[in-house]
Structure 1
């Protein structure tokens, strides 16, 4: 969001209290005595050590905890990823062996001939035709196939076989109940094998009766097939040979090697997120109601990797059916084809937070997940955290006590600062009346106790003191002190009272700022405009020569005075937003600063790239205002005004006035207002030289200036003096004539 800060807008606010009212000095008050005693502690900064101790201990604890956690995470990651990759390599090697064994069986000539004979025998016979001479019955061929495959099955521990034709129909098998059927949900798998790529299926539920581990015949038992193409003499694929594998013999044993710790395991899933290996938590899954409580129930093919939304082991029960729950994070990532790991404590199929690593085997359409419960993985860290949390709790209690004490002291200090201001005494300076106030500070008329010299004293308001405001305040003083031009306001002193009030003293100016000048007396003669602008150029040329850009040149920051018996002496004020061209600009932190009515296009578009020519643009806008009585552009919103500065063409001053203006003056002002800064006068002295060559229609002589001041001095000096901004004349939307500072990258609000 945009953070608009009014920087020394300084609208005139007459002081409600008279200068002659009596006040107690701060030292005579009870608050003053309290602060005086507390000041010793604050001055020695003893109060900061408990906070430093807290910060140091917290920092040490944080780094120790972070270091241990990083080490544990690195070790855990290596363990998970290594185990996952080992399991993957073992499975892939086992799959290759099964494919190789099946391929060697399918490549035997006798088997290929029998399969070809079977397929011929299965072809429909035309009406009235009998079987070809010498063709054996199907039963004989199938018996021959069974006998031919028996030795290979026994040698490689295959538990049965099936022959698939091009229609993916089983045409021969050791299980007669399978003949004539198709294997549901495996069309894509069989198609890949028909394309010539041997493969092994993931476990699936059998559709025929098979013997379980107790010797009972049951359907739905987990089974697998190693499928390879059967080719004819022309090497064309004519059928598939599927050799049955019992998953519990080797497949699940390989995956069970992935157990570690009390809760660590590796399991396999298919593309639907179904568990195709055994879980180590079968007993727990029965207790949790995830799988039925029957003697022959196992987790393989009976559990989907669903996230229940909470820890089932601690009593949580989801409000939806398991099929409606989302997949666990690791299952979802694996099915998407991702290989990775997570230490973030995602829930597993029991709802228990865990850390996991996963991968996907695209050839076999199955995923592997290696995981361990989060509580076991990070148990040492949990113990360490409890110790540190106990320590931090004690430190927090101490910090709260310190914080309360700090607030009390801060309040007392603010009260002390306000009391010092009310007492109208800042160091050697006696304050009289308030002559200005703004977003950051207030300005008082005062005088030095010893020198009796009239002075303008600017101070930070106690309620607005911060590191940033103090920094800007000090910067304004330090930079302005470098400038010696007679047309730049002079700084006499800078200090901080024992109560902590920051202030600086500058020469008291009892003139009128240019905005008030135009609002009270209208557009100014061209000769006077030229003389004023030349003096402004003199002040800015010195600043620019030192590598400083003012960034907030506007009528309200330029005072017109009678100084040393000289009339119309210009003083440039308010260097609070000055920027050094030697400073490194941070492109990632764009700072928009200035007054919208007088900001150059580059100050709006590239505030980190401004230079002295941005001030020259503002000088041209000030001259335009003095000459015509109108700002260059006017708008209802900030966005609209900024856009006009960027691309709108200013109306000629002569057209605004409805009368002629010296062409050279009009040219000089419009040259300053060029959008392309390369077309503007390149230095303030270049602009001053342009102004020197202009012959005004209304020459402004010293006599004319003396006469003006004689007529108006008494009227305009009432309540004036070092006040950067008068009340707005209403020619623009509220706020557009105020100084703003914006830090951010987003466009300003309307």
Structure 2
């Protein structure tokens, strides 16, 4: 600000006034104007500075909170994926032991051993020398080796080991206070996964490390000929094998780790930081020393690697905050109380500040956690602090940037908001919105043709998502079949927001049509499926697999005077098996698509898809159209995954009478678990549907009558593609 001396003229070099008295009025007027102008500028600058400070504090708080939410969601997602993988593995192993527990010969031999064990005075040596035990060992030895198990045993309902391949265990009893409680569910008739136990805690009088390493058990009930449960058959697997591998997969970042623990905080799996634990003395400094069944998840009060020494014995230390919460939730009936996320840093068993997500698994009687060091989790805040300091130090530049940004925002609003013009298209109204994009009804400025303009949400415009949209356009634009939605144009706004333009459809998606009007008749179902297969014929012929065929992505509409024209929408998950884009864009092992209509091979391996994956989805759509019901009636993702992989699909004829045998058989073949049992090509399905359409014809008159009858019920839905 310019400083003006008032009251007396400013002295000149000689000490006298250098400005004549007659010029003072003009000088003072100029000074007042300068002062007023600078005051206004300073007021604006101060207001802008204050606003920036408030905005910066608000932004800092918001970003920090958002980062915590993102970390919480990320940890929870990884934990959920870990638990789902564990569930799938456990169910698979339980099915294996249940199969052998139901074998007639196993039941007979186990029954003989259980009966022998109940006799008064029968020793462990007598059980070991019994022909039944030898026969059982001879039978199950190859089975356990083929499955990767290291041991088997048979435990009677009293907890006595009556069948084993280890002589020292024959006749011993499992620990009634620990291991026997894990078998109650088995003796009640339900197969069970038993978490790792120390041998001395599992079997009375057992020496530590009899197997040489910790194991997990899978137990199943063995019934006699009268259906009475007389024993439990179990297979033991190394805990360092598949069980540990499942947990080792979930190690986010450079410091993330996943591990399991019991109700005492004892680690049931391996630590990622074994070398550190050896250096700080929590486990022996020897090759092969493990944290599994040795380290308790306790809070040492400080970073052990930095030299901190706990103030008390390790056994007297409290559990970490996460472990304490998880153990406290043990036994609670409400599932919502058995999991949580801690985004505020706490010390882990190494004394390092971490954040984590946890869940107590009552079926396995253990807790599972994902942890990440707070330093890595909140590393972006370091850069945020630096940015905040720079903003404060360069306040004037920031004010200019804010004003420039505000001008750009206003210009963007005029272009996209007020004028509603993008490229050569004038937007009329929004007709749909998804998680990543919005769809607008728009008209070409010159052609005046109605179109659907799909625009990616700006805040989601990552390289991955933009690449997916561009691929959707490029692949879909290759297709010209009348039953595939037509792409007209694509591009970017001045601000770089990606969009593309497609034909505008008025009609009903199949899911909404069935939900509102009920199942379709056979004739109409054949008519729709025939069109879908015809469109897929072109796509498959070009080496393109849709991978997301479902009722929501198929629309019935009126086109060119024709009724019930089916249109396949949304090519966002297309896989180009003929070109160079055969990998998913994300580069991660994650499932893309809708699980309810996803083939079993894609559930196992998301990238494993050929034309028969689409054929499976067509079968699932046909089942839905005929019955109005989903293929599998389930409420949990885990149960749905299991049923897709293992449960044969119901036939449509079981729910709806009058389904033609050939159509029923076609849908059943499409839904075969093994893709080799499905039609090898969509042409096979198309030929069968065309033959069926001759006998079960859906005429244009019938279609027109349906649309006329239901038009009064409400306007057709806009296509959201």
- Relative to the length of structure 2, the TM-score reads 0.44
Which structure has the greater CA radius of gyration?
A: 1
Higher RCO by CA contacts (8 Å cutoff, separation 6 or greater): 1
Q: TM-score, normalised by structure 1?
A: 0.43
